[in-house]
Amino acid sequence: MSPEAHFTAVTLILGNSAAGAWMLRRAWSRKAGKAPWRWAGLCMLLLAIILAASMLGNGRGTFTALTLIGVAGLGVVASGYTIRPAKAGRAAREGLAPEPAERVPSAWRTTLRWSLAGPIGLVAAMSLGISYAVWAPGEAQTRLLIGGLIVPLAWGGAMAWTLADSRILRATAVLVGTAIVGFGAAMLRGFA
């Protein structure tokens, strides 16, 4: 693709994305009749992705569109900023941003919680990824790569869960159980 054609494609995708984000903001700012603007905005964003995929290739175009939609959306948000009066601070504070939960300080619970989020979560996530790689059908490279992607996703999910869950023994049991079952299943079969 020539640089000129690429520039045209990117301009078109960015313009479509900005139009989609603007329509969504119209929906957001209206008291009534939101639905047509919302659907139009979502369709424009979808169109930006389809256009990008058709002009730049499926993978390259889709990821280009996802990136440019983010930039266009932030541009639309920035263009619609408002100034909050200093006095409104206290009133606004009451209606927004919930406070994080307070927990009774406990050294062993804190240690266990971070152990679950860290090494135990890693081992459990590894066991899921590896047992996927071992048991799932398909080409070896595909199973290994998808298994590899499962590891950070599962570990991230485990971190989010264990740092929030107050029933820490349940989380321990689930993660340890997952690790044992996952690694056991992987070792039982071996990689073929």
Partner 1 sequence: MTKGTKGAGFPSADLVRAVLKGHSGLGLAFAALLYLICLTGTIAVFANEFQRWENPAVKHMETMSGEAAQAAYRAALDRAEGSVEHVLIIMPSEDRPWPTIRVDAKDGSQISWVADNAGRITGKVREGWTQFLTRLHINLHLPRSWGGFIVGLTGVALLSSLISGVLAHPRIFRDAFHLRLGGSRRLQEADLHNRIGVWGLPFHLIVSLTGALLGLSTIIIGALGMAVFQGDTAKVYAIFTPPHPAEDARPAPPLDLRPMFAQIAARAPRGRISYLAVEHPAEVGGAAMFEVDDGSSRLANADSYAFDRQGKLYHEQKAAQNNVGQQILGSLGPLHFGWFGGGSVKIAYSLLGLGLTYLAAGGVTIWLARRRDKGRPAPGWERVWTALVWGQPVALTCAAFAALFTPSVMPLIWAWAAVGIGALIAAALFPSAIVSQAGRAITGTLLIVLAAVHSAFFGTGDSMALIVDGALGLTGFILLATLILRISVPQKAVPAERRRA
Query: Under the criterion CB under 8 A, does residue 136 sit at the interface with partner 1?
Result: no
Residue of 45, 120, 128, 144 interacting with partner 1 (CB under 8 A)? 144
Residue of 4, 32, 86, 104 interacting with partner 1 (CB under 8 A)? 86
Burial class (CB in 10 A: 0-12, 13-18, 19+), 118: middle
Query: Under the criterion CB under 8 A, does residue 183 sit at the interface with partner 1?
Result: yes
Residue closer to partner 1, measured from CB, 36 or 124: 124
Nearest C-alpha neighbor of 24 from the set 41, 49, 46: 41
Stretch in the footprint of partner 1 (CB under 8 A) among 32-40, 158-166, 173-181: 158-166
Taking CB under 8 A as the criterion, which residues in 15-34 touch partner 1? 24-25, 28-29, 31
Query: Under the criterion CB under 8 A, does residue 126 sit at the interface with partner 1?
Result: yes
The mark string for 66-85 relative to partner 1 (x by CB under 8 A, - otherwise) is xxxxxx-xx-xxx-xxxxxx
End-to-end CA distance of the chain: 41
The CB-of-115 to partner 1 minimum distance in angstroms stands at 13
Residue closer to partner 1, measured from CB, 19 or 186: 186
Q: What would you report as the CA-atom Rg of the chain, rounded to the nearest whole angstrom? A: 24
Query: Under the criterion CB under 8 A, does residue 59 sit at the interface with partner 1?
Result: yes
Residue at token pair 């062993």: 108
Range 40-47 contact pairs with CB under 8 angstroms and sequence separation of 24 or more: 44/16, 44/17, 44/19, 44/20, 45/16, 45/17, 45/20, 45/21, 45/69, 47/16, 47/20
The CB-of-192 to partner 1 minimum distance in angstroms stands at 9
CB-based contact 186:147 (threshold 8 Å): no
Stretch in the footprint of partner 1 (CB under 8 A) among 32-40, 151-159, 172-180: 151-159
Distance CA 124, CA 180 (A): 8
- For partner 1 (CB under 8 A), the number of binding residues is 88
